[in-house]
Amino acid sequence: MRAVLQRVSEASVTVDGDITGAIEQGLLVLFCAEHGDIDDEATYFARKISKMRIFTDDEGKMNRSVLDINGSVLVVSQFTLAANWKKGNRPGFSAAASPAEGERLYKFFCHALKNEGLTVEKGIFGAHMDVRLLNDGPVTIVMDSKDSA
């Protein structure tokens, strides 16, 4: 499982000219399920994301979580995070979960974020999406379930 978190002042997703999700201050999360990923990993990611202290406090230090600032999360499915780019010039995506499993884990992850007390907006799984964001910082965190603790 992989996720890219971007601290944003605002972000939105548009599909076929319609806004499907939009937030003000919070996190844009690009989410990718890979073969073998399980619900527990999605729950762990949601818990870590909700408590990750990457928003500034009154002294300008990154010391507050998205929960602490009453921020929201915009989650966008992005199977291309599973890209194998080392061989040749066309990336391969065979490490990504099947569409059915990817969608199931995407929905599970969004639900897990809601269970952490977050307001969650979403894109549309499998759709061509236009994603707009105003990156705050910039602050970008890459999470990979294969990384050791």
Domain ranges of the chain: 2-144
| CA dist., res. 10 & res. 26, Å (int) | 7
**pLDDT at residue 52, rounded to an integer:** 98
Percent of the chain exceeding pLDDT 70 equals: 99
- Active-site positions? 78-80
User: Has residue 149 got a pLDDT over 70?
Assistant: no
Whole-model pTM: value is: 0.95
What is the Rg, in whole angstroms, of the alpha carbon atoms belonging to the chain?
A: 15
The residue among 27, 32, 121 whose CA lies nearest residue 78 is: 32
35-59 per-position pLDDT tens digit: 999 999 999 999 999 999 999 999 9
**pLDDT at residue 39, rounded to an integer:** 97
Label residues 31-68 b or e (16+ Cβ within 10 Å = b).
bbbbeebeeebbbebbeebbebebbbeeeeeeebbbee
Q: Which CATH class is domain 2-144?
A: alpha beta
66-114 per-position pLDDT tens digit: 999 999 999 999 999 999 999 999 999 999 999 999 999 999 999 999 9
**pLDDT at residue 147, rounded to an integer:** 86
> Amino acid letter at 96?
A
